[in-house]
Copies of this chain bind each other. A is one copy, B any other.
């Protein structure tokens, strides 16, 4: 594992007068220094990163965040913003030298307002995604962002990473749902950009610059979010196919027939069905015989369930007739719709009992999916005979979670030790096809240097100039996204 990011133990830092000044800004009961209290803020779910901090601050208002950042700028204290801390690239983990102070938004967790006429919801940066979804639902509206971690991830983090998930095909990434932001700048100044307008061409697009900046340009403390009408009809199908070429052709037909009603088009390999059937409770293979590839199709219609069902039937009858698909089952109930999605969403967890898994979060133009999948499989199998490729994901977005489970009987530590090597193998094919090695999870610590090596030099240079223009003291989440010498 010598080539992986360093993993270090946390260290307790002695309290200093400077830390006391920070603590005074939020009050003793909203500041944590005990190692056992601080420990959860030093790790992330994959166990790739472990940092250290002398202090976790939990401000209760935008003004308190402002006071913290003003003091941080004055004293050159690095600040790591934390939301639900579910990120997968180490963006939320402090560095390991024990100098970074963690600023957690967890107390700023209110839905400030819902306006169902304007289809708008205003939330604190620390509001949990599921709470936003529920507030929208209570007003008969849909907030379409949906991801595995929705019960704990927070809106500020969703915005800072431009989160994706399972409904991007119809609704877009988090960026698409945001009308306005409230941001505390590294200097402590508050930018009130909480606009509620669908159209506003009145200057440079600062909003989209803060979105996806992973807390390196400021702290998102509030947001105006777009709501949508709840679809009145839905149908889900599970389809077996011979190849990813067939899956792509089926996607083209589905898009043509359904337009914006096509909400999900998820690709899965045979091995993923085997892993989930074997390890996940309640999952069974929905089809009678095995197929090399599968897709889950989700159609949501504005008018009625009958329309969604009719669309799905039309699509699949024609595809079966033309032998484009080998077999298909349309959900007979809402419970079965949920079952199909449960299978798809368990695909990552189902790999854990199979040993180590080396992950990639990549995207290519949709038309390149089949050739990418073929070439990547050839390259991976040549580099590591016996590797079990469980590559699945959002075909409709060109976004594949290209996961590799260890060969049967392999040593897990040896396998994981080849993480960077296997990344290089897969990412070379991604780049050949004009793809991205960071499709939806972001940059953080994990991909900062690899991306700096891949990106056009002028692009990294422009990012550096923006970083310096916004954060001249270099206090905002340093070491993440972009390295400023």
Binding site for B on A (CB under 8 A): 115, 117-120, 161-162, 164, 168, 170, 173, 175-176, 185, 189-193, 195-206, 208-209, 211-213, 217, 228-229, 231, 248, 252, 255-261, 301-303, 307, 311, 363-368, 394, 397-399, 434-443, 447, 451, 455-456, 458-460, 462-463, 465-470, 481-482
Contacts and interface: CB of A to CB of B under 8 A. Distances in A.
A363 to B, nearest CB: 5
B469 A203 contact: no
A476 to B, nearest CB: 13
Task: Kindly report how many copies of this chain are found in the complex they form together.
Answer: 2
B436 A200 contact: yes
Sorted nearest first, the 5 A-B pairs with minimum C-beta distance are A259-B302, A208-B208, A465-B469, A200-B436, A117-B367
Contacts of A260: 170, 260-261, 302
6 contacts: A118-B366, A170-B260, A175-B205, A191-B459, A198-B399, A201-B436
A198 B470 contact: no
A152 B119 CA distance: 35
A286 B405 CA distance: 66
B303 A257 contact: yes
A148 to B, nearest CB: 16
A434 B451 CA distance: 40
A318 to B, nearest CB: 14
A454 to B, nearest CB: 8
Contact of A205 (B185, B211, B482): B211
Contacts of A199: 164, 168, 173, 363, 394, 397-399, 436, 439-440
Given A257-B303, A398-B197, A443 B229 contact: no
Contact of A115 (B119, B365, B465): B365
A203 B455 contact: yes
A205 B175 CA distance: 10
Given A248-B117, A443-B203, A435 B197 contact: yes
Given A199-B363, A204-B463, A205-B205, 19 more contacts: A173-B199, A185-B458, A191-B462, A197-B365, A198-B363, A198-B397, A198-B399, A199-B398, A201-B439, A202-B443, A202-B455, A204-B217, A204-B481, A205-B212, A228-B259, A229-B255, A229-B256, A257-B302, A466-B466
B212 A259 contact: no
A34 to B, nearest CB: 35
Contacts of A115: 365, 367
A119 B254 CA distance: 13
A434 B259 CA distance: 34
A131 to B, nearest CB: 23
Contact of A168 (B198, B208, B441): B198
Contacts of A365: 115, 118, 120, 196-197
A209 B199 CA distance: 16
Nearest to A248: B117
Nearest to A187: B458
A360 to B, nearest CB: 13
Nearest to A140: B256
A261 B463 contact: no
Contact of A459 (B168, B193, B196): B193
Contacts of A200: 363, 436, 438-439
Contacts of A196: 365, 434
B252 A117 contact: yes
Nearest to A467: B204
A91 to B, nearest CB: 11
A115 B15 CA distance: 60
A379 to B, nearest CB: 21
A456 B182 CA distance: 12
A203 B439 contact: no
